[in-house]
Structure 1
Amino acid sequence: MKLPIVAYGDPVLKKHGEEVDKEYPDLQKLIADMFETMYHANGVGLAAPQIGLPIRLFIVDFKDDEATEGYKQVFINARILEETGEEWMFNEGCLSIPDIRENIMRKPKVQINYFDEDFVEHTEELEGMPARVVQHEYDHIEGKLFTDRVSVLRKAMLKGKLDNISKGIVDIDYKMRFPKKSKRKAR
């Protein structure tokens, strides 16, 4: 089932996610719905806060280029253990903040501990695009957005666009939930 993606300005996007346990209700269905939602929105990652759930769960599925196999994984209760290397810039976007892309600096290598969808624990080192996508989604479960990583001046310049997104004044082709959209009927 395709779920609505929560837009910028919703308080759930700023919450630190709560741990998920093996007894979380309908976890496998939730994961399947998240993948369906992400694919429909043409995303490469999706975190539970982006669908309104303040929990430590995110998914990624992307192919970097024709030479790579791609990277698909479910991350439950993830913890970044270490980020290393010289920061590099990449133009990032987010399904919760459509129509805005910004150059963001991140470390190229990450060591992460997480549980997969079967609650098997992993500690993995990622590099390049897999590391970047995981860091972006990890930020979501920590209550951070990529716009929190831009300068104060740049964020001020984006304020009008961000306010419009929270009000639903944006052209998208996937379901979204807008925190400031007027509920009054048009006359």
Structure 2
Amino acid sequence: MNENYFPITTYGMPILRQVTYKVTEIDSKLIENVQRMFLTMLNADGIGLAAPQVNLDHSFAVIDISMIEEFQEIKPFTMINPVIISKEGSIILEEGCLSIPGIRAEIERPEKIFVKYTDLSERDVELEADNLLARVIQHEIDHLNGKLFTDYLTIDQKRQLKDSLDEIKNGKVTTHYPLLIHSR
């Protein structure tokens, strides 16, 4: 395994259900973790990655949707201690997660959000986001609050995906990126 990449925590790992701690200092360790998270996310072909997904318990996430043609102008960024201030509308789109490999489902979320966070330069940022960016931000903030996209599944969707989710929880999953598997 390349030591530049974090292994990604998988469905069933307790850290994915924990609320993260607030970041109180932007130091060299945080910056190093952010850099490794970007490398990890890109290696896994992801567009967002939250700290709990790499077994870290603080409130920060990285996002990069610039490889998608219609979002090339959106530069990769880091959100530290993000909070959604307001939400508008509703849209159903397919969603997936690096911590839940191979599972995708239609999920309803607000279409537009207003979020506040601190960036790596310690600047307070206020961002209005819609479309895919709003979805990715909401997904990553959910991770920071111990929620997964599977929490939004309908009863029928949960029933259909139960066996696949159990396989992931039991370590019966393979990916092209390193994983940290739940052990009992």
TM-score relative to the length of structure 1: 0.91
For 2:94 and 2:133, how far apart are their aligned partners in 1?
Answer: 15
2:30 to 3, 27, 31: 27
Letter in 2 for 1:60: I
Matched residue, 1:121: 124
**Secondary structure, in 3 states, of the residue corresponding to 1:62?**
coil
For 1:184, the equivalent position in structure 2 comes to none
| Partner residue of 1:130 out of 116, 130, 133 | 133
The correspondence of residues 89-168 of structure 1 with structure 2, limited to 5 A, is: 89-168=92-171
Q: Which has the larger radius of gyration?
A: 1
Take 1:37 and 1:64, find their aligned partners in 2: how far apart are those partners? 15
Equivalent residue number for residue 77 of structure 1: 81
Partner of 1:174: 177
Give 3-state SS (helix, strand or coil) of 2:76's partner: strand
C-alpha contact (below 8 Å) 1:6/1:52 kept by paired residues: yes
- SS of 2:5's equivalent? coil
Matched length: 180
Question: Distance between the aligned counterparts of 2:46 and 2:26, measured in 1?
Answer: 28
Say which structure is richer in strand. 1
Residue ranges of structure 1 left out of the alignment (5+ in a row): 182-187
Q: Distance in 1 between matches of 2:69 and 2:77?
A: 19
* Selected match of 1:15 from 11, 18, 33: 18
Report the Cα distance in structure 2 between the residues aligned to 1:113 and 1:119, rounded to whole angstroms. 12
1:14-73 deviation digits (Å, cap 9, x = unpaired): 111110012556111000000000000000000000011121100100137434323421
Q: Does 1:63 align with 2:66?
A: yes
Cα distance in structure 1, aligned partners of 2:147 and 2:27? 24
8 Å CA contact 1:12, 1:52 repeated in 2:
yes
Counterpart residue type for residue 84 of structure 2: I
1:185 is aligned to none
Shift of 1:100: 0.4
Runs of 4+ in structure 1 deviating by more than 4 angstroms, as ranges, are: none
Unaligned 5+ segments in structure 2 are none
The 1:24–1:162 alpha-carbon spacing in structure 2 relative to 1, beyond 3 Å, is farther
**How many Å separate the matches in 2 of 1:73 and 1:177?**
25
Calculate the TM-score normalised by the size of structure 2: 0.92
Aligned letter for 2:82? A
Query: In the alignment, residue 143 of structure 2 is paired with which amino acid?
Result: H
